[in-house]
Amino acid sequence: MGDDAERGLGCQKIMDGKESNRNGLEKEIPSCCLKAMASAPELDSNCHSTVVSGWFSESQTSSGKSGGVVYFNNPMWPGEAHSIKVEKILFKEKSLYQEVLVFESLTYGKVLVLDGIVQLTEKDECAYQEMITHLPLCSIPSPKTVLVVGGGDGGVLREISRHSSVEHIDICEIDKMVIDVSRKFFPELAVGFDDPRVHLHVGDAIEFLKHAPEGRYDAVIVDSSDPVGPAQELVEKPFFETISNALRPGGVLCNMAESMWLHTHLIQDMISICRVTFKGSVHYAWTSVPTYPSGVIGFLLCSTEGPHVDFVNPINPIEKLEGADKHKRKLRFYNSEMHSAAFALPSFLKNELSWLGDYSRQ
Task: Verify binding: residue 99, ligand JA2, rule CB under 6 A.
Answer: no
Least separation, in Å, of the C-beta of 178 and ligand JA2? Answer: 5
Q: Could you tell me which of 269, 203, 260 has the C-alpha nearest to residue 235?
A: 269
Helix (H, G, I), strand (E, B) or coil at 202: strand
Residue 147 exposure: Cα atoms within 13 Å on the Cβ side: 27
Scanning 23-31, 67-75, 112-120, 350-358 for contacts with ligand JA2 by CB under 6 A, the matching segment is 112-120
DSSP H/E element including 1: none
Output the residue with the shortest Cβ distance to ligand JA2. Answer: 119
Cα angle value 26/28/31 (rounded, 5°): 125
d(CA 91, CA 98): 13
**Distance from C-alpha of 287 to C-alpha of 165, rounded to nearest angstrom:** 26
* Total site size for ligand JA2, rule CB under 6 A: 16
Residues from 289 through 308 that contact ligand JA2 (CB under 6 A): 292-293, 297
Q: How far apart are CA 33 and CA 7, in angstroms?
A: 9
**Whether 223 is catalytic:** yes
CB of 29 to ligand JA2, least distance (A): 32
Binder of ligand JA2 out of 11, 51, 111, 117 (CB under 6 A)? 117
The three-class DSSP label of residue 41 is coil
Q: Which of 223, 269, 310, 358 is catalytic?
A: 223
Max Cα–Cα distance, the chain, nearest Å: 66
| Shortest spacing between CB 130 and ligand JA2, in angstroms | 13
| Nearest to ligand JA2 of 192, 251 (CB atom) | 192
Within residues 127-156, the interface with ligand JA2 by CB under 6 A covers 150-153
Task: Give the nearest distance from C-beta 41 to ligand JA2 in angstroms.
Answer: 30
User: At closest approach, how far in Å is the CB of 134 from ligand JA2?
Assistant: 16
Nearer to ligand JA2, 161 or 255 (CB): 255
Give the whole-angstrom CA distance, residue 137 versus residue 317.
Answer: 9
- Per DSSP, which regions of 197-241 are E strands? 198-202, 217-223
From residue 229 to residue 268, the character string flagging contacts with ligand JA2 as x (rule: CB under 6 A) and all else as - is: ---------------------------x------------
221 SS3 class? strand
Q: Which of 87, 170, 218, 223 binds ligand JA2 (CB under 6 A)?
A: 223
Using rule CB under 6 A, residue 224 touches ligand JA2: yes
Is residue 125 within the footprint of ligand JA2 (CB under 6 A)? no
Give the list of residues 6+ apart from residue 35 with CB closer than 8 angstroms, or none. Answer: 87, 106
At its nearest, how many Å lie between ligand JA2 and the CB of residue 310? 26
Return d(Cα 164, Cα 27) in angstroms, integer.
40
Which residue, 203 or 249, is less far from ligand JA2 as judged by CB? Answer: 203
* Residues numbered 177-216 forming contacts with ligand JA2, rule: CB under 6 A: 178
DSSP label at residue 224: -
Cα angle 202, 303, 311 (rounded to 5 degrees) comes to 110
Q: Residue 70, class by beta-carbon neighbours within 10 Å (0-12 exposed, 13-18 middle, 19+ buried)? A: middle
Q: Please give the residues from 19 up to 48 whose contact with ligand JA2 meets the rule CB under 6 A.
A: none
Interacting residues with ligand JA2 (CB under 6 A): 117, 119-120, 150-153, 178, 223-226, 256, 292-293, 297
Q: Give me the active site residues, please.
A: 223
